[in-house]
Amino acid sequence: MIIVALNVLVFFISNYVYPYLTYMLALMPLRIIAEPSSCYTFVSYMFVHGSIYHLFSNMLGLVIFGTILERRIGSKEYLLFYFLTGTLSGVLSFLFYYLTGSYFVFLLGASGALYAVMLLFAVFFPDAMVFVFGIIPMRAITLVVFYFIIEFASSFASDGISHITHLFGLLAALLYIMIRMRINPFRRRQ
């Protein structure tokens, strides 16, 4: 809940008090290349959101999945997981955009970390029923596969959303689960 509160606080400050804060905290490949001291944005980009809907959807996901996960793995492990996967998602996105010559990307939001949280939730609770849009029942593991397919297909679109960051969030979670937690996410858990 502290992560959610910080995101809400940063959103209101950056949108209503000090709009330049969005620029200071967002992850921008060109800025990191020009100013290596701005590497802090690999973490800070997770706290800036582009709209109230962007903030609400990310925070709702963190409340739904994150609170249950935190109880399951503990606060310290959850925070490590959240920040490490979110940061790695940003670093991998930076490398992708840098290598493809897309230097003018403006990354913000907790979505990469949220996708990581959703994957970890699905690993621990694959059969948990999640109601998409509050009405469509879907198993947690099916939801993650569904979102993976949507994000992969959408990554070829130019809609202003960094779908690749979402995919890197899933990849970062997969690596964390397999390396740190020593869990095979592809094996059915009882």
Q: What is the pLDDT of residues 8-34, one digit of tens each?
A: 999 999 989 998 988 899 999 999 999
Q: What's residue 82's pLDDT?
A: 96
The top-scoring range by mean pLDDT among 76-90, 118-132, 141-155 is 76-90
% of the chain beyond a pLDDT of 70: 97
Please identify which residue in the block is written with the tokens 């992560």.
Answer: 3
- Residue 162: pLDDT band (50, 70, 90) is confident
Is the pTM here over 0.75, yes or no? yes
Q: What's residue 1's pLDDT?
A: 83
What's the rounded Cα separation, in Å, for the pair 172 and 113? 9
What's the rounded Cα separation, in Å, for the pair 13 and 7? 10
What's the rounded Cα separation, in Å, for the pair 33 and 114? 26
- Residue 116: pLDDT band (50, 70, 90) is very high
Q: What's residue 139's pLDDT?
A: 93
Q: Give tens-digit pLDDT for 32-67.
A: 999 999 999 999 999 999 889 989 989 999 999 999
Q: Could you count the other beta carbons within 10 Å of the beta carbon of residue 168?
A: 26
Q: What's residue 170's pLDDT?
A: 94
What's the rounded Cα separation, in Å, for the pair 31 and 167? 23
% of the chain beyond a pLDDT of 90: 57
- Residue 180: pLDDT band (50, 70, 90) is very high
Q: What's residue 188's pLDDT?
A: 63
Dump the DSSP string for 102-139.
-TT--B-SSHHHHHHHHHHHHHH-TT-EEEETTTEEEE
Q: What's residue 101's pLDDT?
A: 84
Q: Check pLDDT > 90 for residue 159.
A: no
